Amino acid sequence: MLFCALLATSVGQSVMLTTLPSLGREASLSEFHIATIMSSSALIFALGTSVWSKVAKRAGVKRILMVGLAGYSLGTFAFASAWMAGFSGIIGGTNLFLALLFSRSMQSTIMSATPPSAVGYAVAISSPKARVSAISKVTSASSVGQIIGPAYAGLLVGFGLLAPLYSIVLLTLLALVLVYFKLPVLTPTSAQHSNANETVNEAPSSKIPYVFVVACVCVFCAMAMMQQSIGFFFIDFYSLSPVEGARLVGFAMMVSAVTSLSVQFFVVQKARVSTEAMIQVSLPLLVIAYILLFLQQSISMMYVAMAVMGLGMGMAYPSLAASATTYCTPAQQAKITGLITATTAMGYVVGPPVAALLYQYSIALPFLASAITIALITCIVFMTLRAATHQNSAR
């Protein structure tokens, strides 16, 4: 049930990211307009995730999950309708930009309830040893959504650039109905652990989990820079129309999602390698992927880079998230879980505007910046893992 809930929103996000550059070009909006919409909504999403994760502790994760799905449906309808008003000539220019910014921001305010509720539910019902698998099973919905979303958008975009967005409203409403009737209700966390917290709070906090949180932010910041740029890159570098660009971007994202889902199913969920080993493999793979994107001169090489990126992302987020929740103290559990679920939005706050700025100097420069970002955080994570290993050995 958690997988289906996140799948619906993931398909919606994938459709939006696939079509947004083409929508912007069709409405004569600049790269900075699109980046501002993405970054502002991501900032609100990050803040909202932290708030909703605390609310879910008191109100219950199922109820807040339903709030998030309902908000996503209404927000998507408003966002698509703003685009429709722009294409119809009802509004344009600055007014269109403000309408899009407002509708997307309102959507982010409510839909930010979904990830912390779903991940919090998964953490609550899993043991520490099974946590990486549980998180992977839930978050693999993102990979499946990235497979379905671009193909879905490519199929419906022939009926109009807004057809995929409007159809997502029905998909998230179906997920809402499924959660309402099928997902069991969990006792709110505050009630479950009221007595345990009295002793848990005495344990000293650890700074190690925050390194993995920052690493997740950097991973998604690099991905945001790539997704902000790749749609415009296809249009400008290969001289494609907005519709053709949306289709090729959709296929590239689908290639990445297929490899990501494959590695999550066959490696992460089967627990064939340790969490530390997955981190040590996944982060260098991401560096290689972004370097390939920077150096590529053909669409086929672009697809190879996206496939390598999928392998890295499939292992990176579940292993980093599991490490953050494993190395934290029990008193930090709720806070770290909330931060982990907000890392996607945090990355998308910084990534799009930086990518839009770099794109003005060179259309391939955002890919190089992504490679450098991941390379730096890889060094920091490796040093942290070594220090954590020495601490455990000393004990």
Express each pLDDT in 142-171 by its tens digit.
Answer: 667 766 776 777 777 778 788 888 888 998
Set out the domains of the chain in order of their start, with CATH numbers: 2-178+202-394 (1.20.1250.20)
CB-CB contact of 368 with 294 (8 Å): yes
Share of the chain above pLDDT 70, in %: 86
φ, ψ of residue 280 to 5 degrees: the values are: -65, -25
Q: Are 70 and 78 in contact (CB under 8 A)?
A: no
Q: What is the pLDDT of residue 199?
A: 42
93 pLDDT more than 80: yes
Cα gap 4→145, rounded to integer Å: 10
For 184: left if phi > 0, alpha if psi spans -120 to 50, otherwise beta; the answer is: beta
Q: How far is CA 79 from CA 16, 99, 189, 227, 343, in A?
A: 10, 8, 34, 19, 23
pLDDT digits (tens, 9 = 90+) for 251-278: 888 788 788 878 877 777 766 677 888 8
Lowest mean pLDDT among 154-163, 209-218, 380-389: 154-163
